[in-house]
Copies of this chain bind each other. A is one copy, B any other.
Amino acid sequence: MGDFNLTVILDAIRRTSGGLSRVELAQIVGLSPQTISNISRRLLDQNLIVEAGKEGSGPGKPRTILRLNPGGMYALGVHLDPAVTTFVVLDLVGAVVRHSRIKTPGGNDPAAVIATIAAELAQLVEDSGVDHARIAGLGVAAPGPIDLDHGTVVDPPLLPGWDRVELRNALAKATGYSVLVDKDVTSAAVAETWAGGPSGAGSFVFMYMGTGIGCGIVLNDEVVRGTSGNAGEIGHIIVDPDGPPCDCGQRGCVKSSCIPQVLVAEAVAAGVLEGAQAGSAAEIQQSFSELCARAYAGDEGAAAILDKSAVLVARAVSVVTNTLDVERVVFGGPFWTCLSQRYLELVPPLLDANSAARLIHPIEVVGTGVGEDVGAIGAASLVLEHTLAPRAQRLLLES
């Protein structure tokens, strides 16, 4: 029980950028000054918070401000993507202490990839100089489908050879850390709640614009993972009745009409990108950047392709926001930087026009502030969330 209080207080402190005094804490969480004082003492003793100066110019004693201690705890994060694997060391306030990227080893050999990840992590921790004793664990963001209960990667379309690989157990064994595995899009949403500031609060959908398009879901500050950790699969929402055929047998799914690979192919077919390669993930990323650069430089054909994709993506987002009635959509992921300028202009009015609740409340549309490492930062945030977020579900009191 005491631990629950402790996480609630820590949560209140972390959600207020400037820190809080004990008096403010007592008002916010509704506990007595004595309880607040006791818990603050414990948090100070554990180095999770620090006293950070005094505040107050009026009468009475100035108040000591309590803030999170960035170096009080660290978490490691790995984002396993078919093209690039990203690594971060995150501190307690969600800031990146150190990061690195490697090309994901090919060859369809999970064991080799896991060994490479472990070696890269060890080097990263060494380079970061953080105190090993303060590392709470390792989070891993992986492409779905996953089996959350077993920490297993189950045959993701873009990782051939990864057929029910027990990633959690294998990485725990290879690194010695406690390991949590979650789906990449869900990890991105967790990053937003932990390091995204005000746009990570309340109820929102995180639209992850990567090699594929998926979403993470947060309702009332709680991440929605689903029965097996596979929530957020929106690739087969039909957004273009006249669109290209999809591998599912339908036409005009998100997956067949607005992912980067498809837009690059459209650009090549339309003569907008000549001789562009779009075989490997790296080539697609390169060609896609070129497409966006041309659109922003005034090429009408390129702009038309981007703009149409914004209209289609907005339809998919509308399906999700109308199903869940959230207050905000946060866009992010590796392809987001390219898209943001046109999408932030085009998507909000489309979303509003399609919103079933448009007479009751607007839907905010923003780009993530977390940056392109959002998957890896989210993976590390899983560890902070697991260790520090208040969990009241199974809370009971003897009387």
Q: Give me the interface of A with B, judged by CB distance under 8 Å.
A: 1-2, 4-5, 8, 29-32, 34-35, 38-39, 144-147, 154-155, 202-203, 215, 217, 219, 224-239, 241-243, 248, 250-252, 315, 318-320, 322-327, 354, 356-357, 359-361, 392-399
Contact = CB atoms under 8 A, between A and B. Distances in A.
20 contacts: A1-B397, A2-B399, A29-B396, A30-B396, A31-B398, A144-B356, A145-B357, A145-B359, A145-B360, A219-B224, A226-B325, A227-B327, A230-B357, A231-B324, A232-B323, A232-B325, A234-B319, A250-B315, A319-B323, A397-B397
Contacts of A234: 319, 322-323
Given A1-B399, A145-B357, A360-B147, A326 B250 contact: no
A357 B237 contact: no
Contacts of A203: 226-227
A230 B147 CA distance: 31
Where chain A touches its partner, the secondary structure class is loop
B360 A154 contact: yes
Nearest to A226: B325
Given A1-B397, A323-B233, A399-B35, A248 B354 contact: yes
A228 B319 contact: no
Nearest to A234: B323
A285 B396 CA distance: 49
